[in-house]
């Protein structure tokens, strides 16, 4: 069955700091649950962002050992707009920047945003998890 769920965004990272946008091990309360739960896509929609991220500031990681070790992935987003890791540009209130990543087949996934050396005055990422094979849009 196909369905989606939005997870709460973390607090804005400090200047040059990193925020974990999603970690499947902590979010799902256990390791290696992405496949059994049929997590197929993670979508990050920046509704507002006062300053660009650090260079290559949006990163996605996979783990096959329950989150003990994470390896950074280099992968295109599902719309072919960007390849991870990516620098997220500042986003004005009247626009948005959206990234979608096919994560089907991974045991565990983590998504991080590293801030530039600026203090964020606006920070509004929306993280949506899509479950079910049909959720993967190509």
Per residue in 28-74, pLDDT (tens digit) is: 999 999 999 999 999 999 999 999 999 999 999 999 999 999 999 99
> What pLDDT score does 135 carry?
46
Q: H/E/C letters for each residue in the chain?
A: CCEEEEECCCCCCCCCCEEEEEEHHHHCCCCCCCCCCCEEEEEEEEEEECCCEEEEEEEEEEECCCCCCCEECCCECCCCCCECCECCCCECCCCCEEEEEECCCCCEEEEEEEECCCCCCCEEEEEEEEECHHHCCC
- Nearest 5°: phi and psi at 65? -125, 35
Cα→Cα distances 66→61, 70, 129, 135, Å: 12, 9, 19, 24
> What pLDDT score does 81 carry?
75
d(CA 80, CA 8): 26
Query: pLDDT digits over 95-127, tens only?
Result: 899 999 999 999 999 999 999 999 999 999 999
Name all domains of the chain by residue range, CATH numbers in brackets. Answer: 3-135 (2.60.120)
The number of beta carbons lying within 10 Å of the beta carbon of residue 29 is: 8
Evaluate if residue 134 carries a pLDDT over 80. no
> What pLDDT score does 138 carry?
37
Evaluate if residue 77 carries a pLDDT over 90. no
Per-residue confidence band for 18, with pLDDT thresholds at 50, 70 and 90: very high
Per-residue confidence band for 137, with pLDDT thresholds at 50, 70 and 90: very low
Evaluate if residue 86 carries a pLDDT over 60. yes
Per-residue confidence band for 82, with pLDDT thresholds at 50, 70 and 90: confident
d(CA 19, CA 12): 7
């Amino acid at each position: 069955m196909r369905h989606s769920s939005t997870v709460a965004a973390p607090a804005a990272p400090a200047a040059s700091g990193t925020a974990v946008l999603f970690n499947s091990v902590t979010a799902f309360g256990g390791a290696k649950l992405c496949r059994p739960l049929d997590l197929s896509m993670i979508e990050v929609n920046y509704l507002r962002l006062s300053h660009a991220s650090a260079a290559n500031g949006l990163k996605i990681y996979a783990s096959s050992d329950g989150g003990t070790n994470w390896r950074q992935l280099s992968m295109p987003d599902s719309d072919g707009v960007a390849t991870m890791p990516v620098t997220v540009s500042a986003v004005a209130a009247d626009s948005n920047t959206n990234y979608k990543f096919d994560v089907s087949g991974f045991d565990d996934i983590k998504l991080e945003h590293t801030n530039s050396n600026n203090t964020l005055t606006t920070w509004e990422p929306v993280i949506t998890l899509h479950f079910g094979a049909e959720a993967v849009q190509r």
